[in-house]
């Protein structure tokens, strides 16, 4: 659901780390970095276990909506 709020930070849960066991953890929540070009090619850009942002196939993740208050707490803890 797009609320029109461009400042909302998006998150997704990893559902497959096949081929990337050191970079992604199944069941872990990852911050999505907006990248229209990557998304147009079926990829999602996330901050992975290296601490850097990389593009991965969208089918490796399940996007979820998180309330703003929880977003702030998660980012503060990171």
* 22 part of a folded domain: yes
Whether the model pTM is above 0.75: yes
**Total domain count for the chain?**
1
* 3 part of a folded domain: no
In angstroms, the Cα distances linking 26 to 9, 22, 33, 60, 61 are: 21, 11, 19, 9, 9
* 43 part of a folded domain: yes
**pLDDT tens digits, residue range 26-71?**
999 999 999 999 999 999 999 999 999 999 999 999 999 988 888 8
* 2 part of a folded domain: no
Domain boundaries, position 24: 10-77
* 26 part of a folded domain: yes
* 1 part of a folded domain: no
* pLDDT > 80? residue 78: no
Residue bearing the bigger pLDDT, 6 or 65: 65
**pLDDT tens digits, residue range 21-30?**
999 999 999 9
End-to-end CA separation in angstroms for the chain: 25
Q: Is the Cβ–Cβ distance between 26 and 14 less than 8 Å?
A: yes
> Which residues, 6+ apart, have CB-to-CB distance to 36 below 8 Å?
none
């Amino acid at each position: 659901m797009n609320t029109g709020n461009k400042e909302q930070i998006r998150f997704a849960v990893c559902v497959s780390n096949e081929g990337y066991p050191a970079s992604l953890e199944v069941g872990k929540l990852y911050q999505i970095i907006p990248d229209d070009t990557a998304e147009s090619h079926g990829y999602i850009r996330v901050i992975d276990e290296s601490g850097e942002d990389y593009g991965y196939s969208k089918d490796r993740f399940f996007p979820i909506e998180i309330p703003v208050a929880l977003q702030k707490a998660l980012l503060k803890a990171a």
